[in-house]
């Protein structure tokens, strides 16, 4: 009976909640409950660890733990509750970085306690390297997503340099391990070296690939947690960490697949291999005349259409236009026009980003069409309304082998009868490449803030 109240048993329960929770997160009906179950398991594990600890502990340490958890809870809760829906992806990246930093700090403290124990030292150093990369990498990803870091930054021969740095880190860690060194200096050199590597690792990767990077760093942090579990022989850290590590890896591959690219390609970057010159040449080749249109023209066009497909992209999220576009959808439907949303798997900043955003406004599930289902329908569509999407509708993916996005599955909007593209300006999309769709004969450009434009469309349409 006593065993029921033992820490091992609590950890067993917690491990089961993680598996169950992740499983339930995979189905729309059970997802929310799954998350809560995992959260309950986590709470149980944390409380158990504190209150069932065997050993002498000074009171002020309990107080410190309590304060740290209290402050962390208040800040974490407040930030997560307050942040706008559009900022969620970067917030996930931020929280992921916090976990990585925590793992690295644990390693920094524990190092001195395990000097001479080869396996434990190796585990600790691996935890420091992976945790630090996850931390600094996530911070860069966060900066890229919220626009603080705009341009991909690349050292000359960055692939060679990065791989060399990583190799040096591993060799250095191996040296510390086998020389049984207890040098704090070495330890901190390794720590800062790994931090620097994390920065250099993510900096060259284009903003459009950040979801993949975050997912990858997510599984890194899982691995770091698992290493901690290995060090302490702590089952709940081991199961939770490995679970996230493996699930996160599969998720990363799923995301790459949606973009028709390999993980190696994302990290070492075909994007990077396209030199600035080539990009310029590309843009020359697609230069032509663009056609501008006005809100009232588009309103008339929509009013006399039978089938319209909206193609939302990150621009919609930035402009907070999700409610406006839903209103437009309802208005058009009330006029007997068939309206659908075509959702590209990587539209926005994360797979499923657009679904989450539109779900917020109660858009009907059935109206959100996935790429493979909607592509054959474009040829029977009168108007395609592209709102703040760019790379996911770029025909260069089909017909320009020198384009960095060549081979990526896209929404074939060019098959529709008319294409209206709403953008703020002619600036290229996140991948930084020109889009020949804008120069297509059937395309008209409607420049302006997505929200303002859609609201203007609504008031025009109401008057018709």
Per CB under 8 A, which of residues 370..399 are in contact with other proteins? 370
| Binding map of other proteins across residues 129-168, x = CB under 8 A, - = no contact | ----------------------------------------
Tell me: does residue 251 bind other proteins (CB under 8 A): yes
Tell me: does residue 243 bind other proteins (CB under 8 A): yes
> Given 209, 391, 412, 449, which residue is catalytic?
391
Match 């026009």 to its residue by tokens: 337
Calpha distance 327→302 (Å, rounded): 14
Calpha distance 96→161 (Å, rounded): 26
Instruction: Choose one: 235-243, 309-317, 330-338, 374-382; the region binding other proteins (CB under 8 A).
Output: 235-243
Residue 419 in contact with residue 387, Cβ under 8 Å? no
Tell me: does residue 170 bind other proteins (CB under 8 A): no
Which of 122, 125, 194, 244 is close enough to bind other proteins by CB under 8 A?
244
Which of 275, 284, 336, 365 is close enough to bind other proteins by CB under 8 A?
365
C-alpha gyration radius of the chain: 25
Which of 155, 254, 426, 464 is close enough to bind other proteins by CB under 8 A?
254
Eight-class DSSP state of 149? S
Listed in sequence order, the residues at least 6 apart from 93 whose beta carbon sits closer than 8 Å to its beta carbon are 138, 141, 142, 145, 210, 214, 217
Tell me: does residue 183 bind other proteins (CB under 8 A): no
| Binding map of other proteins across residues 45-84, x = CB under 8 A, - = no contact | xx--xx--x-x-xx-xx--xx-xxx-xxx-xxx-xxx-x-
Beta bridge partners of 309: 340, 384
Beta bridge partners of 387: 312, 422
* Six token digits for residue 140: 């860069």
Which of 165, 199, 235, 331 is close enough to bind other proteins by CB under 8 A?
235
Which of 197, 201, 230, 341 is close enough to bind other proteins by CB under 8 A?
230
391 is catalytic: yes
Instruction: Choose one: 301-309, 354-362, 388-396, 410-418; the region binding other proteins (CB under 8 A).
Output: 354-362
Which of 119, 155, 164, 167 is close enough to bind other proteins by CB under 8 A?
119
Please say which residue, 55 or 156, places its beta carbon nearer to other proteins.
Answer: 55
Instruction: Choose one: 103-111, 189-197, 403-411, 431-439; the region binding other proteins (CB under 8 A).
Output: 103-111
Which contacts of 457-463 are long-range, i.e. CB under 8 A and separated by 24 or more positions?
457/295, 457/298, 457/299, 457/302, 457/328, 458/324, 458/327, 458/328, 458/331, 460/295, 460/296, 460/299, 461/299, 461/302, 461/303, 461/328, 461/331, 461/332, 461/335, 462/331
Calpha distance 215→138 (Å, rounded): 10
Known catalytic residues? Answer: 391
């Amino acid at each position: 009976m006593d065993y029921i109240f033992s820490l091992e048993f609590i950890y067993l329960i917690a491990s089961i909640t993680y598996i169950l929770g992740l499983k339930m997160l995979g189905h729309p009906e059970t997802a929310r409950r799954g998350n809560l179950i995992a959260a309950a398991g986590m709470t149980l594990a944390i409380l158990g660890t504190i209150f069932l600890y065997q050993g002498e502990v000074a009171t002020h340490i309990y107080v410190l733990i309590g304060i740290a958890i209290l402050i962390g809870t208040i800040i974490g809760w407040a930030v997560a509750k307050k942040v706008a829906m559009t900022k969620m992806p970067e917030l996930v990246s931020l929280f992921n970085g916090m976990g990585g930093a925590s793992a690295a700090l644990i390693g920094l403290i524990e190092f001195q306690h395990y000097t001479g124990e080869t396996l434990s030292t190796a585990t600790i150093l691996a935890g420091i390297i992976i945790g630090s990369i996850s931390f600094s990498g996530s911070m860069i990803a966060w900066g890229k997503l919220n626009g603080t870091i705009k341009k991909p930054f690349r050292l000359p021969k960055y692939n060679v340099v990065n791989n060399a740095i990583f190799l040096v880190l591993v060799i250095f860690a191996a040296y510390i391990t086998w020389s049984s060194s207890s040098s704090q200096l070495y330890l901190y050199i390794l720590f800062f070296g790994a931090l620097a590597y994390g920065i250099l690792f993510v900096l060259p990767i284009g903003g459009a690939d950040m979801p993949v990077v975050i997912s990858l760093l997510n599984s890194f942090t899982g691995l770091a947690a698992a290493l901690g579990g290995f060090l302490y022989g702590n089952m709940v850290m081991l199961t939770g960490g490995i679970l996230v590590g493996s699930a996160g890896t599969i998720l990363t591959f799923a995301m790459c697949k949606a973009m028709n690219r390999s993980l190696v390609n994302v990290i070492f970057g075909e994007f990077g291999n396209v030199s600035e010159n080539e990009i310029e040449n590309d843009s020359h080749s697609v230069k032509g005349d663009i056609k501008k249109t006005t809100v009232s023209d588009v309103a008339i066009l929509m009013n006399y259409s039978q089938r319209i497909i909206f193609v939302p992209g990150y621009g919609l999220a930035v402009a907070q236009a999700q409610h406006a576009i839903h209103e437009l959808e309802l208005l058009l439907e009330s006029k007997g026009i068939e309206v659908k949303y075509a959702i590209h798997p990587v539209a926005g900043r994360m797979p499923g980003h657009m679904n989450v955003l539109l779900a917020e406004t109660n858009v009907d599930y059935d109206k959100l069409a996935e790429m493979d289902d909607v592509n054959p329908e474009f040829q029977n569509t009168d108007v395609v309304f592209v709102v703040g999407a760019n790379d996911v509708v770029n025909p260069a993916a089909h017909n320009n082998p020198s384009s960095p996005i060549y081979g990526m599955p896209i929404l074939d909007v060019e098959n529709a009868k008319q294409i209206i593209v709403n953008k703020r300006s002619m600036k290229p999309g996140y991948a930084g490449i020109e889009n020949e769709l804008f120069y297509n004969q059937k395309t008209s450009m409607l420049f302006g803030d997505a929200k303002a434009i859609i609201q203007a469309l609504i008031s025009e349409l109401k008057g018709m």
